[in-house]
């Protein structure tokens, strides 16, 4: 069976307040073209279909359009909800639209209810593990503790149990939205830390013939059978140098996997420029960046007057402006100081700063419990 693996569409997302809906439509047109040209037999979307729980109407319209196009092509679609999606909203009418070959998996109850598709070699069972917020679902899954490792293990135990009841020639594909250990991250993913550990081991997926992952935005291979497709567009400047792609997967009669990257279209490049304002405005070697989305860092000792306005005269798509002279040890911005640190580490640093002493072990545990409670409550609101 030929499968197109994609994820993290984030329909409705903006890049530094720049709308991206036109670029997202270009990607979806490319996806449909790939389905036609490569004779794709199933499309899988591993979560974060929308960028927020209540997406804008134009993002919903785009979503409905691509579903209709795939239904017209009679190509089945298997899709799960991610940590940005509202599972209940995304899953509305899921039973009804399944008749059109659109298989949505957005709840814990769906984990062991596969969409079973067929090719000339027999059945392929597609299992969808939506984003599983440990604090909300660990009891329901019977997981030993509220961690990503534990809830994914419990969910996969259900998958393996169901698979064992099916004919021996049944191949399996698992969709999951998670951070798997060993993968590379970027700046545009939302933190899903739970119990101090945001990731789970790839070993939890033992038994699946192919695992289509979502959540991380870089297209990458964890193993021959476990891959992230990444996001189809760059959603932060940290992704500027990483090509965007989908995976074209061939799953043969013997469950062997052959994978090929299909590069996504780039309507406008993301680039980063550094230098003094006068050079950026006048030097001819920067002409190639005039049509790019830019993060510009000025190295002038003093902040130039109306710098962004002047830069936009040459670089109309400049989106972000920084000043390198502000990033000394004494003047470093708060944002840069906390970049890459977890919420727990940030709160511990704040406590150390205001009290003059590091947190004790009980204080560390209390802060962690408080953060988990707030994060779980927020996740519950988005899931409703």
pLDDT per residue as tens digits for the range 174-187: 999 999 987 777 77
Instruction: Please report the pLDDT score of residue 292 as a whole number.
Output: 97
Looking at 203-212, 312-321, 323-332, which range is the least confident one? Answer: 323-332
Instruction: Please report the pLDDT score of residue 349 as a whole number.
Output: 77
Instruction: Please report the pLDDT score of residue 378 as a whole number.
Output: 63
Summarised one tens digit per residue, pLDDT across range 33-53 is 999 999 999 999 999 999 999
- What is the β-pairing status of strands 293-298 and 270-275? parallel
Spatial distance between the Cα atoms of 276 and 380, rounded to a whole number of angstroms = 48
pLDDT at 331 over 50: no
Angstrom distances, CA of residue 72 to CA of 6, 9, 46, 56 = 19, 21, 22, 25
Tokens of 151: 């809830």
Instruction: Please report the pLDDT score of residue 327 as a whole number.
Output: 47
- 93 vs 114: which has the higher pLDDT: 114
Spatial distance between the Cα atoms of 32 and 29, rounded to a whole number of angstroms = 5
CA proximity to 272, closest of 305, 239, 245: 239
Pick the CATH number of 2-263 from 3.40.50.300, 3.60.21.10, 3.40.50.1110, 3.30.2130.10: 3.60.21.10
Residue ranges of domains in the chain? 2-263, 270-326, 335-383
Q: Which strand ranges, in their side-by-side order, compose the sheet holding 226-228?
A: 115-119, 122-129, 171-177, 210-214, 226-228, 220-223
In this prediction, residues 270-289 reach a mean pLDDT of 96
User: In sequence order, what are the beta bridge partners of 44?
Assistant: 5, 78
**pTM, full prediction:** 0.83
Q: Residue 64 — very low, low, confident or very high, per pLDDT cuts 50/70/90?
A: very high
Summarised one tens digit per residue, pLDDT across range 164-216 is 999 999 999 999 999 998 777 777 777 666 555 578 999 999 999 999 999 99
Instruction: Please report the pLDDT score of residue 364 as a whole number.
Output: 79
pLDDT at 329 over 70: no
263: region left, alpha or beta (phi > 0 left; psi from -120 to 50 alpha): beta
Instruction: Please report the pLDDT score of residue 328 as a whole number.
Output: 47
Backbone angles phi, psi at 371, to 5 degrees: -65, -40
């Amino acid at each position: 069976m030929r499968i197109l693996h994609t994820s993290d569409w984030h329909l409705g997302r903006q890049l530094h307040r720049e709308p991206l809906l036109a670029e997202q439509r270009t990607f979806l047109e490319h996806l449909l073209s790939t389905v036609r040209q490569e004779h794709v037999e199933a499309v899988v979307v591993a979560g974060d279909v929308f960028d927020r729980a209540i997406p804008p109407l134009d993002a919903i319209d785009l979503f409905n359009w691509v579903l209709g196009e795939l239904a017209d092509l009679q190509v089945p679609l298997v899709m799960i909800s991610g940590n940005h999606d509202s599972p209940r909203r995304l899953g509305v009418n899921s039973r009804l639209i399944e008749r059109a070959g659109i298989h949505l998996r957005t709840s814990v109850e769906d984990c062991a209810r596969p969409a079973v598709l067929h090719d000339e070699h027999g059945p392929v069972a597609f299992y969808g593990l939506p984003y599983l917020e440990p604090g909300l679902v660990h009891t329901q899954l019977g997981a030993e503790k509220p961690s990503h490792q534990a809830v994914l293990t419990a969910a996969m135990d259900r998958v393996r149990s169901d698979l064992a009841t099916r004919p021996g020639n049944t191949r399996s594909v698992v969709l999951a939205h998670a951070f798997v250990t060993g993968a590379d991250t970027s700046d545009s993913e939302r933190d899903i830390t739970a119990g101090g550990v945001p990731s789970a081991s790839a070993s939890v997926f033992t038994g699946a013939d192919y695992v289509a992952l979502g959540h991380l935005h870089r297209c990458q291979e964890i193993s021959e059978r476990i891959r992230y497709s990444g996001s189809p567009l760059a959603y932060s400047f940290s992704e500027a140098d990483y090509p965007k792609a989908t995976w074209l997967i061939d799953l043969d009669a013997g469950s062997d996997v052959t994978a090929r990257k299909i590069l996504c279209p780039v309507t406008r490049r993301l680039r980063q420029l550094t230098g003094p304002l006068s050079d950026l405005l006048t030097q001819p070697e920067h002409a190639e960046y005039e049509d790019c989305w830019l993060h510009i860092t000025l190295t002038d000792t003093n902040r130039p007057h109306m710098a962004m306005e002047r830069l936009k005269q040459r670089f109309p798509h400049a989106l972000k402006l920084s000043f390198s002279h502000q990033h000394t040890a004494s003047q470093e911005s708060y944002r840069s100081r906390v970049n890459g640190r977890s919420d727990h580490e940030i709160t511990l640093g704040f406590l150390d700063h205001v009290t003059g002493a590091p947190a004790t072990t009980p204080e560390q545990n209390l802060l962690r419990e408080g953060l988990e409670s707030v994060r779980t409550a927020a996740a519950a609101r988005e899931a409703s």
